[in-house]
Structure 1
Amino acid sequence: MEAGSIVPKQCFSADILGVPTDFAIMEFDQIMVVATQMGKLGTLLQARQDSLTQTYSVEVLLGRRNDPLLEVLARQLIEKLAMARCPKNLTIWLGLKDPSNPDAIKGIIAAVSDKRPWK
């Protein structure tokens, strides 16, 4: 892979509560995760970490702003990045059929965590 090219680091599919879910994980100056059950990008969130204060911030950049579970998902993933000592921030696109289902959110977190994109 050429430096600076945007090529998925990992692409895979997983069954999340009986719903086929496609994932793409890319890495450049940050980690980008796409998780979709609808073939659309959906809501765009950005999660940032401040290594000095060990705090995290999550912001909805585009899409559903009234669903706190999407922010929980982004916060969980940025915390996992920090625990793995990866200093990069996270951009995540979530196109979920039922984004208010806590079990679906847990399934997405588990699927991404299993692939450990922060190596």
Structure 2
Amino acid sequence: MHGNHTSCQRKDESVFSDPTYNVSVLFGKRDEPLLLACARQLIEHISGSGSARSLMISLGLKDHSQATMKYIVSTIIENRLW
């Protein structure tokens, strides 16, 4: 099992542009695009719900499949775990 720690922040935006996000792996495998996509989707949803919080995600998964990532994202969003 591998663990990843990912940091996600919403960058300051101007009135004339869409928000931008900084998603980076702090510790763990950096070549896991699905983990980065999962983190980005979560920070976009959290930010879109009105929260200005940053996000730290720590995952230790055996299965890094797309189905697993979709399940994680949908469960967090459904239960509003922020």
TM bucket (normalised to shorter chain) is: 0.7 to 0.9
Would you tell me which structure has more helix in proportion to its own residues? 2
Would you tell me which structure has more strand in proportion to its own residues? 1
Q: Which residue of 2 aligns with 1:62?
A: 27
1:29-67 deviations in Å (ceiling 9; x for gaps): xxxxxxxxx6x8x10000110241510110000011111
| Long gaps (5+) in structure 1 | 1-37
The higher radius of gyration belongs to 1
| Long gaps (5+) in structure 2 | none
Query: How many pairs were matched up?
Result: 78
The higher relative CO (CA closer than 8 Å, separation ≥ 6) is in 2
Moved beyond 2 Å, runs of 4+: none
Q: After TM superposition, give the deviation of residue 117 of structure 1 in Å.
A: 2.4
Q: Tell me the percent identity.
A: 37
Q: Which residue of 1 aligns with 2:8?
A: 47
* TM-score, with length taken from structure 2: 0.87
Letter in 2 for 1:44: H
Q: What does 1:83-102 align with in structure 2 at a 5 Å threshold?
A: 83-99=48-64, 101-102=65-66
Letter in 2 for 1:94: L
* TM-score, with length taken from structure 1: 0.61
RMSD: 1.5
- Whether the 8 Å CA contact 1:48–1:57 is kept in 2: the answer is yes
